[in-house]
Structures are given as C-alpha cells and as structure tokens.
Structure 1
C-alpha cells in the first residue's frame, strides 16, 4: 500500500502560497481494489447476497473483508457461473492504472466442475472417473491458454496494481456422509487430484505473468465436506447454486490466505 504525506513547509508564507494545492493529495480518490472471478470469488455459500442480480455476491466474501481491512474502495465484479470469457467480457470495466489491488479466481467453470460433481454424485464410479479425466484434460490442454489471455488483459488495464490469482481448495477428505451425496472415497480422491491440477495450473500461469498466487488448500485441511468443522458446504437440498461452495468460515479462511499475498 502507498502512504502519502506532505513535506513540512519552512515558512508561513510558503505554506499560505501552496495551501490550495496541498489540499489535492488529501482529497485524492481512495485506493481501489477490483475483485474478479466466479462463484468462489463472489461468495456463494456464505449467504447475505446482494439483491438485484444473480451473481450471488455475498457480504461475507473475502473481497468484502479485504477491502474493509485495507480501507479501499471495492469494485466487486465477481459473479457466480463466470468463465474466463465472462470475466473478460463483463468484469474488467473498472480496471485502470488507478486500481491498487486485483484478485481473480476463475477456471473451474471452464472445465465443467459442476458437471463433474453431478456425474460423481450418481452410482456409476466408472462414469465419474471418466468425466474427471476429461476435466483434467481440459485443465492441461485448454485452460492455460484461456488464463494466459485473461491475465494479459488484466495486466494491460491494471498497470499499477498488485494482482493475485486465487485458487480453489480440495473439497473432500475421503469420508462419506449425507452431504457428500455418496461420492465414494475413490471418487473423492480423483476429484481432489483434479482440484490439485487446477490449482497448480493456475499457479503456473499466474507466476508466468508476475502475479501472486493465493492457495487455500492448506487452510482447508481438516475442514472438508463431512468434517466436524467444514469450510465447504456439501450438497444443499434445493440449492444447487450453493452446494459444494465455501461457508462463511471458508470465506474467512480465504481472507487470510489472499490478504497475505496482496
């Protein structure tokens, strides 16, 4: 963060002559933070959503907490369901050289993670593992190019910003419960491996662009679906949007991880 201070003036005459100009820095626009991405960035699962749109932007999202802690104006553009193309088309309008911080968390929807979870929620393990392998192929072969293009756009617009790409946690611990929708330990292992590949791929592309990478995986250990203190919702009956998303406590954990990288 930048801290600005006026130099001490040596005489009253000089102070009087610059008094009007000296007011300008004190009245400068507050530092700005732009939060971009998908449902994990918008705060789906944490409740208290903004009304008037279908982006499920939560008052408890990590970006809201970080903006408050940094005393920065927040451009909260993250939106549930966003893919890299959606971020490019709909979420970059507030980026400029005046933005101090940018976070971007996206990629899971590009490789169809919700579809993968749906396939694994059935009773056909072979189908689940096949769909997971398909998602991993997308992560390896397609996603890096999409992230590269998006990150280039962000860098070109937010020329003075500290930019951090934000990853996703593993969802499962190998335990089964009602909230896990009977996703077996074998299937959970495969899904966690895909989550790891997504995280490492995002980190590689982000690092190549000089971005920081906020990795929440360690912070969520012991807090997976079916744990005693879950940071991730399992299946939420009647709410496909919130199922398998971070809780309010999960967003708190994200806040600590992301803030440390800004």
Structure 2
C-alpha cells in the first residue's frame, strides 16, 4: 500500500483542473492535463480486463474484468472521480468502434465511453487482431511434431508480422478518435507484457518448439514496436511493458508475470496474473509522472 500512496503523491501535481483557453485547445494535451477526481476510461482486450484474476465484476460478465486489473489499480491510485472500465476479453480493434457480442450480453462500443470531459484514457489493444492467443494454442499443437524444430514458424511464415503491419493504421485511427472525442485527455497506449523468453523456452511445460520461441518473441516485439510508433505519431504516451520481462515470462515459474497454458496463479492461460497487473499499473503511473516532469521543464 505504501507504494501506491507514494505513486499517488508523485502525481499529486496533476490534480488541479483548469479550463483550457480556446487559443490552446488545438494543442496535444500532456500529463499536466490529468486530474485526480476526473474521468478515467480504460479500453482494451483481455490483457487489460484480467480474466480469472479475482474478483471478476461488471457487465456483461463475459468480458471477465477483474477489480485487480491495471485500470482498477490505476483508478484507485489516481483517485479517479469517474472510472469506466469498458475493456473486454476477446476484444479486437473493431470492438472499440462497434458493440462486441459476448456470451449472454453485449459490450457497447468501447469508444462510446470516451466523453469530452474525460481526463485520462488508457488503451491496450491489438493482440487479438494479430491472433496471438489462438496462435499460441496452434503452436502448442504443432510443437509435439517437432519439439526441437520450428513448425509454427513454418506454418505461419510472415502472416503474423503482416497482421501487425495491417493493424498499424487502425491503431492510428483509434488514437485520433480518442483525441477528437476527448480533446483535453491524456491518451496512454499500453503495450504487452513479455510472454516468452528469447531463447529455446521450456518445452513441454510451455509447449512451444525450441525454434518457435524466438520466432514468437520477435512477433510480440514487432507488435509492441508498432504500438509505440503509432502512439508517438498520434500524440499519445506509450507504456513499454515488455521491457524488463526477462525472467518474468511464462517459463519463469514463481516469478512469472504471465501465466502459461498450465496455470499456477489465478489468471487465464497466456495472460497476466495479478503480479503482472501490478507491474503494468506501476509503469503507467511512472510514465505519467515522467511526462508531467518533462512538461514542467
């Protein structure tokens, strides 16, 4: 709890809400615009929602949002006056713009939660557009045929990196749409935690063939690089959650931030656990604080 109090104190200078003069309305907002007591909207897929991390809450229930996902931790640390977590498991970029049909319900278009008075928006999206989770299960099956080879790389070739490139302009549209809907909001694009090591992995506990581990790691790095580039071009902040993930990936056992297919913590397979969510929340807070410091120079 001390860490959260300290981080909240670091961001205390962000608490004053002031009207933005019309002459400056066209400027991209910085972290100086963030407001404790303001409206915070969290958008994203299951890496944001936190399926199976206790306690699941919200509607529709099939979105599987945790009250200990990084948006919930951020909202508490920032003392957000209004908090809308509209993230949803299995969401794609399309589901930010239109309703997402889930079991026994429908999650409204996530962008509909972004209003003109919104002070902060975080968005973590793109993994499902690449098909990352489905790819891992496919690669797990293929690994049985050649555990020391690279059957998954042979199967997919450049398909996954092609999908990353195809998603880039759509991420750009997401960022520009958020800016248009909430002109004074700080927009934060949140990257993905490291899933695999860069070497041969740990088959069979994480069923990815030795040659496929570096291949899949390169795909994830390309996704995070694309998100960082689009954030920079679009006037948003980027949170690099991949950095420092060595020794905390799915092969890391007790120190892992992301669970493998055979889970050991309360979290969905190939998804962040509660520790990973705390790491992401800390990094978003640190990114906001750094942006504030840069704006004050």
The alignment yields a C-alpha RMSD, in angstroms, of 2.0
Q: What are the residue-to-residue correspondences of 1:109-124 with 2, within 5 Å? A: 109-122=128-141, 123-124=144-145
1:32 to 39, 55, 58: 39
Q: Does 1:259 pair with 2:272?
A: no
Alpha-carbon distance in 2 for matches of 1:177, 1:64: 34
Return the offset for 1:132: 5.7
Alpha-carbon distance in 2 for matches of 1:87, 1:126: 35
Contact 2:150 2:210 in 1 (8 A): no
Give the TM-score normalised by the residue count of structure 1. Answer: 0.83
Residue 3 of structure 1 is matched in structure 2 by: 16
Deviations 1:69-105 (A, max 9, x none): 1100211001111101101221112212211111000
Which ranges in structure 1 are unaligned for 5 or more consecutive residues?
A: 6-28
Q: Does 1:169 pair with 2:193?
A: yes
Q: Does 1:95 pair with 2:114?
A: yes
Name the SS for the 1:92 alignment partner: helix
Residue 192 of structure 1 is matched in structure 2 by: 217
Q: Which has the larger radius of gyration?
A: 1
Alpha-carbon distance in 2 for matches of 1:126, 1:71: 48
Runs of 4+ in structure 1 displaced over 4 angstroms? 124-127
Q: Does 1:55 pair with 2:63?
A: yes
| Structure 1 residues 132 and 118: CA distance shift in structure 2, 3 A | farther
Alpha-carbon distance in 2 for matches of 1:197, 1:38: 18
Alpha-carbon distance in 2 for matches of 1:132, 1:56: 32
Deviations 1:42-89 (A, max 9, x none): 112523211652111001101000100110021100111110110122
Return the offset for 1:155: 1.1
Which ranges in structure 2 are unaligned for 5 or more consecutive residues?
A: 1-13, 19-35, 99-108, 289-297
2:94 to 81, 85, 89: 85
| Structure 1 residues 45 and 214: CA distance shift in structure 2, 3 A | farther
Residue 48 of structure 2 is matched in structure 1 by: 41
Deviations 1:156-190 (A, max 9, x none): 11111111000112211243155412x12321111
Return the offset for 1:236: 3.6
Q: Does 1:202 pair with 2:227?
A: yes
State the number of aligned residues: 234
Name the SS for the 2:130 alignment partner: coil
Give the TM-score normalised by the residue count of structure 2. Answer: 0.74
| Structure 1 residues 258 and 233: CA distance shift in structure 2, 3 A | same
Return the offset for 1:220: 2.3
Alpha-carbon distance in 1 for matches of 2:217, 2:190: 17
